[in-house]
Each structure stands twice: as structure tokens, then as C-alpha cells.
């Protein structure tokens, strides 16, 4: 897509730049890594538009870090980076320690199958709009993508090595989790 974000499913977002900090090109930086200061250990980071930035220095502030980035020497250049997300290739990250741990980037491309092994579609994205993680699944039969709650009840099995995950959707519409229902989950009562 020309002019838009260039997000590859094999890139993992490690942080996001906030506002400029001061007049010498520093920026506020939010780190999404398990150890927030470890964001410097992953090497150069890439923005959505393909720019490569290295963190030259990092120091803690209130609830963010203040970072100096390569090639950013003044406030004007720093302001151009406001809200940029910073990515690394998935291959640069260590493998998870536990068998039931994985990176969301590893889920993209997995086949979604039901408990009987019938293919339902493929995972094309993982989203979180504030109420929990959702898998976006493109149905094998075509049509619109569907959002599936990403929880242990709905997705009881994930097998990265086999390239699939099991999706166990409730049978009736009234049993469906709220993101999949056509109607609100609860009615509001009027105050008395």
C-alpha cells in the first residue's frame, strides 16, 4: 500500500514514541518489552514507514523513558516522530521460555480449525480494542473476516509448530461472546 503503514506480520512492536522532550531532539518513549529498559538490547528499531532508528541513550522519567535516537538532532525532527511505533523482526527476539508462551506475531498465518480438525480459516491479525485480545480470522469459504475472542475457552489449543490453533465457538448466538453477537450483551435498566 503506497503512502500507508508498511506493517509486516513478522515485525513485533516493541515501543512507541511519544512527544518531543526538550529542544535537543530527545523523545518520550514507551517500551512494551517485559523488561522496559531492555528495548535497547534489540538493536536498531524500524518505524511503520521503514525508517531505521537506533537508541543512542535511554533514561527513565515518570512513566516513560527519555530517548536520544540516531539521526534526530533537534526538536523539529523529534516532533516528526510523535506516535511512531517501533518494530523489530520477529527473528531478533528470543524464543519463549514456556511451551504455552508465544508472540502474537507467531499467531498470524496459523490455520484456525474446529475441534474436529475442519479448517475454519486463517488468523490474519491480533487486535486489542480495550476489552481483551481478539483474533481476526479470514474464513476459508471467503466472505468477511470474523473476530474471535482470544481466551482459553474459545481458543483452547495453540500449536505453533503444526501451524494451527483450535477455535471452539459456542453453538447458539445467545452463547456467543459479546464481540461476536449482533446485539448488546446486557440491557440497561432505567434509574429509579
Please tell me the predicted confidence (pLDDT) of residue 59. 96
Please tell me the predicted confidence (pLDDT) of residue 176. 54
Please tell me the predicted confidence (pLDDT) of residue 4. 38
DSSP track, 64-115? SEEEEETT--SHHHHHTTTT-EEEEEGGGSPPPSSTT---HHHHTTPEEE-T
> Distance from first CA to last CA of the chain, Å, rounded?
53
Please tell me the predicted confidence (pLDDT) of residue 3. 37
Please tell me the predicted confidence (pLDDT) of residue 189. 37
Please tell me the predicted confidence (pLDDT) of residue 175. 54
pLDDT less than 50: residues of the chain = 1-7, 180-192
Please tell me the predicted confidence (pLDDT) of residue 192. 41
Alpha-carbon torsion angle 148, 150, 155, 160, nearest 10: 110
Return phi, psi of residue 31, to 5°: -100, 135
Q: Are the CB atoms for 15 and 85 separated by under 8 Å?
A: yes
- For 191, which DSSP code? P
Q: Are the CB atoms for 104 and 96 separated by under 8 Å?
A: no
Instruction: For residues 31 and 65, give the distance between their C-alpha atoms in angstroms, rounded to a whole number.
Output: 8
Number of Cβ within a 10 Å radius of residue 49: 10
According to DSSP H, which parts of the chain are helical? Answer: 75-79, 104-107
Please tell me the predicted confidence (pLDDT) of residue 128. 85
Instruction: For residues 176 and 144, give the distance between their C-alpha atoms in angstroms, rounded to a whole number.
Output: 18
Please tell me the predicted confidence (pLDDT) of residue 101. 83
Rg for the chain (alpha carbons), in Å? Answer: 20
Number of Cβ within a 10 Å radius of residue 15: 23
Instruction: For residues 105 and 157, give the distance between their C-alpha atoms in angstroms, rounded to a whole number.
Output: 17
Amino acid at each position: 500500500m503506497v503512502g500507508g503503514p508498511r506493517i509486516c506480520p513478522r515485525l513485533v512492536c516493541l515501543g512507541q514514541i511519544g512527544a518531543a522532550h526538550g529542544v535537543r531532539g530527545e523523545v518520550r518513549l514507551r517500551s512494551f518489552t517485559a523488561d522496559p529498559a531492555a528495548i535497547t538490547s534489540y538493536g536498531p528499531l524500524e518505524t511503520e514507514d521503514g525508517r531505521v532508528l537506533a537508541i543512542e541513550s535511554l533514561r527513565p522519567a515518570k512513566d516513560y523513558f527519555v530517548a536520544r535516537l540516531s539521526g534526530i538532532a533537534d526538536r523539529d525532527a523529534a516532533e516528526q516522530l510523535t506516535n511512531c511505533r517501533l518494530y523489530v523482526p520477529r527473528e531478533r527476539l528470543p524464543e519463549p521460555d514456556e511451551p504455552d508462551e508465544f508472540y502474537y506475531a507467531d499467531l498470524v498465518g496459523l490455520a484456525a480449525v474446529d475441534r474436529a480438525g475442519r479448517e475454519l480459516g486463517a488468523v490474519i491479525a491480533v487486535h486489542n480494542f480495550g476489552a481483551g485480545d481478539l483474533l481476526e480470522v479470514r474464513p476459508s469459504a471467503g466472505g468477511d473476516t470474523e473476530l474471535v475472542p482470544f481466551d482459553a475457552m474459545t481458543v483452547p489449543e495453540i500449536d505453533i509448530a503444526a501451524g494451527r490453533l483450535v477455535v471452539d465457538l459456542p453453538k447458539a448466538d445467545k452463547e456467543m461472546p459479546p464481540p461476536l453477537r449482533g446485539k448488546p450483551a446486557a440491557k440497561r435498566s432505567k434509574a429509579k
